[in-house]
């Protein structure tokens, strides 16, 4: 069998359609169809069922996918070893993180790039969790509980508080009921249940200016005095234009993790980045908990 055929099976399983699989593999849809049919004929089984919402693996397909994923991981590890990059501080390093990190900590990534100029740092700012198992990234900095198949370190506890711009308080005053201030809120699809429950209790009749799906938009809207909002203390306290209206909000906190795949932990460039970032964030841990103002 040809390993390349298994790449096509994985792409179909992960993307759900032939069109998206073809795009991810940078081939045309006809090629994907032909390769799938050839493999199914060779194995003598059907690997996918075509349903309304896309291609779903059969039981035989599930078995093939599991084997293909194991092969994929071994190929990734072998690639690093054969190229001799596992013990040298060279090669590419793909790091993914959310807007929360990207909006405040680019200086840390730049400093790492200066310390290790032979490492080609690739940064991906996205609020979508990239898949480290599939090597969409080598290292991820994520909030929330980490997947069981990854390893890492807890960097900090990210706490939140309610913030307003000084300009807004100059307009509205500082002693109003929370319902009397305009609010910036999260888009409903993001299911910000904690914020919604808090507002239902403390600001039931508050006017919402608009809802956003981006932390950068939220921060900028508050900075311009459009409304008040809950923000990570590491962001709110870092701006001299913001005023914290309440203490750190109990129950809003979430853990921040530095993660990688177990197969990558002994690669020198990955290990160097993990150690560097862990040290930087440890030095600034009080910013995340809201216990100090920079």
Q: What pLDDT shows up at residue 68? A: 84
Contacts of 243 (CB under 8 A, 6+ apart): 163, 164, 165, 166, 169, 174
Look at the chain and count its residues. 294
Averaged confidence pLDDT in the chain:
88
Pick out the chain residues at pLDDT < 50.
84, 294
Both tokens of residue 33?
């169809």
- Comparing CA positions, the residue from 206, 78, 240, 243 lying closest to residue 231 is 243
59 forms beta bridges with: none
DSSP alpha helix (H) spans, the chain: 3-15, 18-25, 29-43, 59-82, 99-102, 106-115, 166-172, 193-202, 215-223, 233-236, 268-283, 285-289
Confidence (pLDDT) at 118: 93
Can you give the pLDDT at residue 294?
Answer: 45
Q: What is the pLDDT of residue 292?
A: 66
- Domains in the chain with CATH codes: 3-82 (1.10.10.10), 91-158+254-289 (3.40.190.10), 160-244 (3.40.190.10)
Rounded distance between C-alpha atoms, residue 109 and residue 102, angstroms: 10
**pLDDT attached to residue 135:** 67
Residue 3 confidence (pLDDT): 67
For residues 3 and 72, give the distance between their C-alpha atoms in angstroms, rounded to a whole number. 9
Q: What is the pLDDT of residues 85-127, one digit of tens each?
A: 556 789 999 999 988 898 889 999 999 999 999 999 999 988 7
DSSP 166-223: HHHHHHH-SS--GGGSEEEEE-GGG--HHHHHHHHHH-TTPEEEEEES-HHHHHHHHH
Tokens 């779903």 belong to 56
Q: How many other C-beta atoms can be found within 10 angstroms of the C-beta atom of residue 103?
A: 18
């Amino acid at each position: 069998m040809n390993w390349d055929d298994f790449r096509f099976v994985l792409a179909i399983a992960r993307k759900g359609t032939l069109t998206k699989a073809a795009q991810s593999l940078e081939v045309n849809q006809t090629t994907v169809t032909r390769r799938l049919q050839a493999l199914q004929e060779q194995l003598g089984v059907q690997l996918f069922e075509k349903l309304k919402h896309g291609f779903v693996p059969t039981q035989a397909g599930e078995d093939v996918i599991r084997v293909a994923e194991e092969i994929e991981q071994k190929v990734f590890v072998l690639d690093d070893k054969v190229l001799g990059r596992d013990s040298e501080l060279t090669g590419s390093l793909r790091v993914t993180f959310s807007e929360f990190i990207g909006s405040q900590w680019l200086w840390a990534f730049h400093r790492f790039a200066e310390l290790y100029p032979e490492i080609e740092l690739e940064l991906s700012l996205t609020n979508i969790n990239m898949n480290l198992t599939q090597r969409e990234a080598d290292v991820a900095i994520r909030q929330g509980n980490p997947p069981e198949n990854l390893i890492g370190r807890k960097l900090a506890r990210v706490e939140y508080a309610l913030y307003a711009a000084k300009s807004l308080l100059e307009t509205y005053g500082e002693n109003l009921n929370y319902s009397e201030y305009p609010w910036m809120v999260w888009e409903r699809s993001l299911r910000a249940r904690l914020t919604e429950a808090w507002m239902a209790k403390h600001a039931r009749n508050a006017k919402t200016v608009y809802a956003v799906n981006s932390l950068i938009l939220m921060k900028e809207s508050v900075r311009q005095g459009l409304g008040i909002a809950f923000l990570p203390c590491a962001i709110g306290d870092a701006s001299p234009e913001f005023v914290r209206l309440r203490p750190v909000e109990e129950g809003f906190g979430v853990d921040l993790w530095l993660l990688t795949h177990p197969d990558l932990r002994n690669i020198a460039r990955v290990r160097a980045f993990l150690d560097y970032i862990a040290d930087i964030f440890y030095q600034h841990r009080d910013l995340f908990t809201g216990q100090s103002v920079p």
